[in-house]
A and B are shown apart, each in its own frame.
Chain A
Amino acid sequence: MSRIIVVTSGKGGVGKTTTSAAIATGLALRGKRTAVVDFDIGLRNLDIIMGCERRVVYDFVNVIQGEARLRQALIKDKRLENLSILPASQTRDKTALTLEGVKKVLDELSADFDVIVCDSPAGIEHGAFAAMYWADEAIVVTNPEVSSVRDSDRIIGLLASKTKRAIDGDAPVREHLLLSRYDARRAKRGEMLSVADVLEILAIPLLGVIPESPAVLESSNSGTPVVLNGRSEAGEAYLEAVERLLGRDVPHRFLNGKPRGILSRLFGN
């Protein structure tokens, strides 16, 4: 049985796809056979972030509707042999993802992969629901901002009531908070919600803190997941989170930002 991890948030644009790509790639780097699945039907994006957009032939919906085999639609990553991507359809609407259809694909992936990462669309409608329904674990991506934290709280409520595990009364979906686009300096100055504030409100375990970082845009420009794109703070923070997902108790290095010299404090950003 593989671990099914949904990356979800409620609010749009908080970093779900960036996170799905980074975490899946990090898990593959650590030797896990990993598949990352794009549930954002109609707005395919994961292929761009993973850099495989020109190799998409068939997609998730084709597989569900029996128009293609799973192995025809899966794209093997060129950099890591134990990493594959299942792209979303650009043309269909979200209702093409039936719960039973999704289940069939996840079951088939389970035979070949240790971890399945599901990149959820924004919102709390059908697509987001389909992405979370079968999950064992959830990474709740949150930005230190009122609307994002509020939407995360809604998503946490849905994980606890509307997933297969909740409905069957099984062990609940394991939740992880990933606080992204964090600026420790602004939090310290009281201009931004701090890690502690968000943890106090959402009250789920902290998987990691990803700093606001220019490396994320650079990575998406070149189609290289940020964990593979040289050494960047965001990349390292994601790798740290991967270690925690693998059960290692590593210290949080990005809670307080990087120590800075007096010159960079005055003139840097």
Chain B
Amino acid sequence: MRILEYFLPTKRSAATAKDRLQIVIARERAQVSAQDYLPSLQKDLIDVIRKYVTVEDGQVQLQVDHVDGCDVLEINVQLPPPRRSMARI
């Protein structure tokens, strides 16, 4: 009954939809472009780090996050236990 709809408050959810879209799309665009260069950046970083310490492939993790409107590249390197690296010196 459209005549009733005229007197009932309508839900204006389009603005919410737009806000959610803008946030999710900004994040996904950054992630998608990162997918193209992250694997080779990870490989290069591992090579550089190995000049100084012994690390396994899985101990260097890269991730792009979208924080407060900025894209942040997070690099996580898990170092070997101190004794092993001492032994190398």
Residues of A near any B CB (own CB < 8 A) = 145-146, 149-150, 153-154, 157, 161, 187, 189-194, 197, 201, 265-269
> Which of A190, A265, A266 contacts B15 (CB under 8 A)?
A190
Residues of B near any A CB (own CB < 8 A) = 2-3, 6, 10-15, 17-18, 20-22, 24-25, 28-29, 32, 36
- A interface SS class: helix
Q: Inside 8 A of A194's CB, which chain B residues have their CB?
A: 14
Q: Inside 8 A of A191's CB, which chain B residues have their CB?
A: 10-14
Are B21 and A266 in touch, CB under 8 angstroms? no
Q: Inside 8 A of B17's CB, which chain A residues have their CB?
A: 145-146, 193, 197
CB distance from A202 to the nearest CB of B (A): 9
CA distance A145 to B11 in the complex (A): 15
Given contacts A187-B14, A266-B6, A269-B2, contact A161 B36 (CB under 8 A): yes
> Which of B10, B22, B32 contacts A154 (CB under 8 A)?
B32
Are B28 and A153 in touch, CB under 8 angstroms? yes
In this complex, what residue of A is CB-closest to B1? Answer: A267
Q: Inside 8 A of A266's CB, which chain B residues have their CB?
A: 2-3, 6
Given A146-B17, A157-B29, A193-B14, 14 more A-B residue pairs with CB atoms under 8 Å apart are A146-B20, A146-B21, A150-B24, A153-B25, A190-B10, A190-B14, A190-B15, A191-B14, A193-B17, A193-B21, A197-B17, A197-B18, A201-B22, A266-B6
27 residue pairs bridging A and B, Cβ less than 8 Å apart: A145-B17, A146-B21, A149-B21, A150-B24, A153-B25, A153-B28, A153-B29, A157-B29, A157-B32, A189-B10, A190-B13, A191-B10, A191-B11, A191-B12, A192-B14, A193-B14, A193-B18, A193-B21, A194-B14, A197-B14, A197-B17, A201-B18, A201-B21, A266-B2, A266-B6, A267-B2, A268-B2
